[in-house]
Amino acid sequence: MAKIRVLMVEDSATIRGRFEEILATDPELELVGTATDGKMAIELCEALRPNVVTMDMMLPTMSGLASTEYIMAHFPTPILIVSSSTNRGELFKTYEALAAGAVDVLDKPLGDEVDGDWERRFLSTLKLVSRIKVITHPRARLPASAKSSQAALPPRYDAVGGQDYDVIAIGASTGGPGAILEVLGALPPHFSLPIVMVLHINEMFAPAFAEWLDGQTTRRVAYARDGEPVESHAGRVVMAPPGQHMVVRGGRLHLSRDPERHSCRPSVDVLFESVADEYGSRAAAALLTGMGRDGATGLLDIRRAGGLTIAQDEATSVVYGMPREAAVIGAAMRILPLGEIGRAIGGLAMAGARVPA
């Protein structure tokens, strides 16, 4: 069996040495190249065509973000961000790299981990990321003026309403930052329903995500506070905070550190199940790209309660895991390309025949 070809992008000699030692312990992996700056990363990625890239964010000459954007636009390759950057500005760059097509993010070892634990996570994540069929992100090829004009095009909305809705629920995992950004960007300015959302992201890197997303869209985004009314987020997005489940009960948001579901906390299923119980047929939900099966049974609960349910299709998903599980069990009333999901949700504010169950 052919080995998984790894390109390492890291400017620290110490970290490079440790990564090389770890990779050498796994017979399934082969280190085919090492880059110490972003420009070299692009050159080696194009020349070597590795199966997976480990990418540091803070690099000389060209940043990890710029390198990621170029690679994903011109010769898309699965990228695992491996970073220790946790201040606000550096976290924002990590989110932008994820939105540009990087698959996942892993924290660098701190030196106080249980013996062998970080190494096992690194190797297993690297193998998992290498198997993902990434898609091209052509947006990075456009000049700034073209990006602005493209974003300014008025979207077309599909009338899928015919009934009143009180809430929209969204769940996403791997590939989620970019998908969420596209869905929110497609909503009409007058859209006034509250949006409750769960995104799986490494907890160490999650603290500033809501703030970053708030700056990327005209729609206000914030992490939930325990006990606040859902209706206080009308026209806004409220997210489950890092490491906490979020549920809706009695018209209010409640947070907990209850056990993980599908190895996830927050869990999409936990949120969706509460939405089904609380709103029934007055709820709509979308399950976006992601690894695993979290959210599928919760989406089915919403459909059984009479709500509108949407799953992202395979062609536009970075990882067709969660939405596939939803499709298999019949949880999704509609399976749509990513570019149509925002329009469909936006159409909930328009008149039209009710979607058949």
Segment 179-225, tens digit of pLDDT: 999 999 999 988 999 999 999 998 888 989 999 999 999 999 999 99
Q: What is the pLDDT of residues 150-180, one digit of tens each?
A: 344 444 545 444 568 999 999 999 999 999 9
Q: Among 166, 294, 301, 313, which one carries the catalytic annotation?
A: 294
Q: Is 173 a catalytic residue?
A: yes
- Rounded to whole angstroms, the Cα distance separating 61 from 320 reads 35
Task: Decide if pLDDT at 141 tops 80.
Answer: no
How many angstroms separate the Cα of 100 from the Cα of each of 94, 133, 183, 215? 10, 15, 15, 16
Residue with tokens 């990625």: 45
Q: Is 148 a catalytic residue?
A: no
What is the reported pLDDT for 64? 94
Sign of CA dihedral 319, 221, 217, 159: positive
Q: What is the pLDDT of residues 77-108, one digit of tens each?
A: 999 999 887 788 889 999 999 999 999 999 98
Q: Is 200 a catalytic residue?
A: yes
Is residue 240 within 8 Å of residue 269, measured between CB atoms?
Answer: no
Please report which helix (H) or strand (E) contains residue 15, including its range: helix 13-24
The reply to whether the predicted model has a pTM over 0.75 is yes
- Rounded to whole angstroms, the Cα distance separating 147 from 277 reads 41
Q: Among 173, 267, 274, 317, which one carries the catalytic annotation?
A: 173
Q: Count of CB atoms within 10 A of residue 69's CB? A: 23
Length of the chain: 357
Q: Among 37, 107, 200, 274, which one carries the catalytic annotation?
A: 200
Q: List b or e across 259-291, with b for residues whose CB sees 16 or more CB atoms inside 10 angstroms.
A: eebbebbbbbbbbbbbbbebbebbbbbbbbbbb
